[in-house]
Amino acid sequence: MKKTVLITGAATGLGWSMAERFAAEGYAIAGLDRDGPAVEAAMARLNATGVRTLALAASVSDEAAVEASVARCVAELGGLDVLVNNAGLSCNTPALDLSLTEWRRVIDVNLTGVFLCARAAGRHMVGHGGGGIINMSSMYGVIAAPDRAGYCASKSAVAMLTRVLAIEWAASGVRVNAIAPGYVRTALLDDLIQSGRVDIGALTRRTPLGRMGTPEEVAEMALFLASERSSFITGQVVGVDGGWSAYGYI
């Protein structure tokens, strides 16, 4: 029987790469994104290859929209086996300049959104034989960096939320893990490099493996954590960062 995965932030970047990878493994794909037209187009591309898809336009910080989206996924695709909590925002602002509005926005999406989606999916999974939840943390949820108070706080909280949900839901067969990516060569990073806001040379020198990650490498980890190959792994935050967080030298 084919499985179903719900991926948030599925229209572009890491979310799209994960949607492609899960689709290649035979999963039905429910893509959720706040950009309705973009997620419709993304799911249409997969659907054209014979993959069962569902496009869901919603913000992960909207409780009612999240609940309705999970309900549609279950009803229209026949269930929900895996949730990938990928949607998130960056927040590179010095703490003294960080407004309460910006702080709340990044916490609402990066942390509250993860909780709302996990809770909605968990309510289904706990009563239907289990499942897998993969939350997107960050290497900046494990190590600190300047000018990222909101981002680091939200991503480190995701790591702890992951552990709490894992031990709460383990007896019901629900495994909850997190991925902590480092710098990954997405279109967003390419734009920052081209605009001069990111020094690619400095980043690669700081990374022990000497390069950026690829979206496909993060997608492979998500697929592994969703699969039976990781059946005894839960409550873990797995770094996919080329050794960045292990390397203490700046």
Catalytic residues: 151
Task: Judge whether 158 and 111 are in contact, CB under 8 Å.
Answer: yes
Q: How far apart are CA 137 and CA 8, in angstroms?
A: 14
The β-bridge relationship of strands 174-181 and 237-240 is: parallel
Radius of gyration of the chain (CA): 17
CA distances (Å), origin 98, targets 92, 142, 152: 9, 21, 13
Beta-carbon contacts of 9 under 8 Å, excluding residues fewer than 6 positions away, are 15, 32, 33, 60, 86, 87, 88
CA 53 to chain centre: 18
CA 189 to chain centre: 17
